[in-house]
Amino acid sequence: MRRCHKAKSTPACVKMVNDMHAEFWIDKWQKAEIGFHLEDYHPMLTRHWRTLGVGAGARVFVPLCGKSLDMIFLLRQGCQVIGNELSPIAIQQFFADQNLQVTSTTVSGITVYEAAGIRLIQGDFFQLDRQTLGSFEAVYDRASLIAMPPDLQHHYAEHLLALAPVAAPILLITLDYDPAEMNGPPFATPADQVTRLFGASFHIKMLERIDALADNPALQRRGLTALSETAWHLRPRDRASNHMGMIW
C-alpha cells in the first residue's frame, strides 16, 4: 500500500491516505483476496471474551468487521452485534453464508443491514457518527486497527474513542513483526503503539502473546521470519482524570 509523504497530520494527507486505503480494500473484496478471513472463531476471542465482563444482552461494536465469524461467536454469547464494514460484498456474503434473513435500508448513502441480533452498517468507519451507530457496551477489534497504515491508526483510535461510550472496554488483537521485513497490511503494531494510541483513555492489560508465525504461511511467504499476536484488554479510565498511559 502506498504512503503519503506530506506532513502526516494535514487533513488533505489523511484524506488521501484514507481514500487509497478504501480503494485497496474494496478491490481486495472484489478479487476475493481475503486471506485474513478465518473459517472459525478467533481463538483469542473465545479464550478472553469473558475477561471483559460484558453481560448477555450487551451491544458489541465490531469495527471493520469483514464477514468475520467472530460476530457469530458474540451472538452466541447472547450479545447484540453492531458491525461496520466498507465493502458491501463482505456484508452480503456474511448474511448469505450464515443463512440469515436480512433487511436493508439506505439513508443518506449509508446502508444498514439487519437480522436477528445483528446490525451491519456499510460505509466508511471515519464517516460514522454516534447517531448512526447507536450506543454499545463493548468493542471487539481483530485485524481492524492493524488494517490501518500507521498514518491512519491514530485517527482510527481517536474516532473510535469519539464514538464509544466512556465505559466501553475493548478486546483488541494485534500483530507485531519487524516492518523492515514486510509492508502491511497487516501493519506491525507494537506495545508502545498500543500505549500511544489508547494509554490516556484506557488501562492496558496484555492478556496473551503468542508466536503466530507458523499459523501464517502467507505472511512467511511475504518475508516474515518472526511474528507475534497479542490480545489486549483495554479497560476505560475515568476519562475525567488525565493519567499518562502505562501497561499494567
Write down the least CB distance from residue 179 to ligand SAM, Å: 17
Residue 81: beta bridge partners? 60, 118
Write down the least CB distance from residue 143 to ligand SAM, Å: 4
User: If binding is defined by CB under 6 A, does position 41 make contact with ligand SAM?
Assistant: no
Residue with C-alpha cell 482510527?
156
Write down the least CB distance from residue 72 to ligand SAM, Å: 12
| Residue 82 contacts residue 61 (beta carbons within 8 Å) | yes
Mark the segment that binds ligand SAM (CB under 6 A) among 61-69, 73-81, 191-199, 238-246.
61-69
Write down the least CB distance from residue 242 to ligand SAM, Å: 29
Mark the segment that binds ligand SAM (CB under 6 A) among 52-60, 80-88, 95-103, 111-119.
80-88
φ and ψ at residue 227, rounded to 5 degrees: -155, 130
Which of 45, 64, 170, 182 is close enough to bind ligand SAM by CB under 6 A? 64
The C-alpha cell of 17 is what?
Answer: 491516505
What whole-number distance in Å separates Cα of residue 171 and Cα of residue 6? Answer: 33
Q: Where are the alpha helices (DSSP H) in the chain?
A: 11-30, 43-48, 70-76, 88-97, 130-133, 150-163, 191-198, 217-221
User: If binding is defined by CB under 6 A, does position 88 make contact with ligand SAM?
Assistant: no
Nearer to ligand SAM, 86 or 118 (CB): 86
User: Binding to ligand SAM (CB under 6 A): which residues in 119-158?
Assistant: 124-126, 142-144, 147
What are the CA-CA distances from residue 155 to residues 10, 13, 72, 215, 243 (Å)? 12, 12, 28, 30, 21
User: If binding is defined by CB under 6 A, does position 87 make contact with ligand SAM?
Assistant: yes
Which of 3, 15, 37, 76 is close enough to bind ligand SAM by CB under 6 A? 37
Phi-psi sector, 16: left (phi>0), alpha (psi -120 to 50), beta: alpha
What whole-number distance in Å separates Cα of residue 245 and Cα of residue 192? Answer: 10
Write down the least CB distance from residue 21 to ligand SAM, Å: 6
* Number of chain positions touching ligand SAM (CB under 6 A): 22
